Amino acid sequence: MKLQTKGIKKQIGGISLLEDIALDFRSGEIYGIIGPNGVGKSTLLGIMAGTIKPDEGTVHLDGQAIARMERKQLARRMAVLQQGGIPPVGFTVHEVVAMGRYPHQNWLGGEADDPEPIIEDALHVMGLEKLKRRSMHQLSGGERQRVALAKLMVQKPKVLLLDEPTTYLDIGYQSGLMDTVKEWQRKEGLLVVAVLHDLNLASLYCDKLAALHGGTIAAYGTPAEVITEELIRFMYGTGATIVPHPSCGVPQMMLQPGK
């Protein structure tokens, strides 16, 4: 599976947010999109998902323009976790997770095979078995985020787009969720693109990083190539010390107070 953006341009309120963005993403890797607030990370992900129309440029999935694909056809191949997850609607956890099977249903809402084993497996993986009969409005923000990911799991996509997936999660659940995404990606050979604010988390879990700044890609490569003191100073206007992680060696950032 290959996802490509070609010549993406987008203005919002007369301000150029994205300017000639060209990126290639391939199956089997996790890609992170990083950058300061307001640089267009979520907008770029929305364009890749087909929910936001670019002013210029195209997005292709395996050579086919997603703008020409039917939404249900695209949803069988691509799943999207929107920023903020799922609102506290009046459905149960089980009902919301089961909605992820919609792209695979016929016009009567049925499937050739019973989807319940797929749904139960996703509930188990995300630790939601004891909550499955609970209404969504009874859940915390972190629990709703886990429900949102379980819903994507039952969708059985080949491409996974995540907009700040660790929002509302404490550090234990942040690493747990990213561990789950990483294991799922390896098992299924998924193509994963995630917008991440936490640079240390991005460095730990992403194979490649695209740093977005001033409407363009300021840097692209492995975490070791992208997460540098010079880039942090350029993009965020703050001093930082970069040290290797003691277990895996990837760069980790420590802020310098008063710099």
Give pLDDT tens digits for 128-181: 999 999 999 998 888 888 899 999 999 999 999 999 998 778 888 888 889 999
CB contact at 8 A, 139 and 167: no
Split at pLDDT 50, 70, 90, the class of 259 is low
Q: Average pLDDT, stretch 223-235?
A: 95
Q: Are residues 163 and 215 in the same domain?
A: yes
How far apart (Å, rounded) are the C-alpha atoms in residues 192 and 27?
8
- At position 194, the amino acid (one-letter code) is A
Q: Are residues 70 and 183 in the same domain?
A: yes
How far apart (Å, rounded) are the C-alpha atoms in residues 233 and 239?
6
pTM here is 0.91
How far apart (Å, rounded) are the C-alpha atoms in residues 41 and 126?
26
Is 233 within the bounds of a domain? no
pLDDT at 167: 77
- The CATH number for 166's domain is 3.40.50.300
pLDDT at 3: 97
Q: Are residues 26 and 117 in the same domain?
A: no
Split at pLDDT 50, 70, 90, the class of 33 is very high
Q: Are residues 30 and 150 in the same domain?
A: no
Q: Are residues 163 and 201 in the same domain?
A: yes
Domain holding 50, by residue range, is 1-77+157-226
Q: Are residues 37 and 125 in the same domain?
A: no
Quote the number of domains for the chain: 2
Domain boundary residue, one of 133, 155, 177: 155
Phi and psi angles of residue 50, each rounded to the nearest 5 degrees, phi first? 85, 10
Domain boundary residue, one of 155, 177, 207: 155
70 to 74, 78, 103, 180: CA distances (angstroms): 6, 12, 11, 29
Q: Are residues 166 and 211 in the same domain?
A: yes
Mean pLDDT of the chain: 91
24/103: higher pLDDT: 24
Is 243 within the bounds of a domain? no
- pLDDT, one tens digit per residue, over 179-206 is 999 999 999 999 999 999 999 999 999 9
Is 143 within the bounds of a domain? yes
Q: Are residues 3 and 67 in the same domain?
A: yes
Is 86 within the bounds of a domain? no
Is 189 within the bounds of a domain? yes
Domain boundary residue, one of 155, 188, 207: 155
- pLDDT, one tens digit per residue, over 103-142 is 888 877 777 778 899 999 999 988 899 999 999 999 888 8
Q: Which residues are CB-contacts of 187 (< 8 A; sequence separation ≥ 6)?
A: none
200-224 b/e (C-beta count within 10 Å ≥ 16 → b):
bbbbbbbebbbbbbebebbbeeebe
Split at pLDDT 50, 70, 90, the class of 88 is low
Q: Are residues 66 and 119 in the same domain?
A: no
Q: Are residues 150 and 168 in the same domain?
A: no
Q: Give the three-class secondary structure for 85.
A: coil
- What letter does residue 37 receive in the DSSP assignment? T
Q: Are residues 119 and 167 in the same domain?
A: no
CB contact at 8 A, 200 and 252: yes
Q: Are residues 138 and 173 in the same domain?
A: no
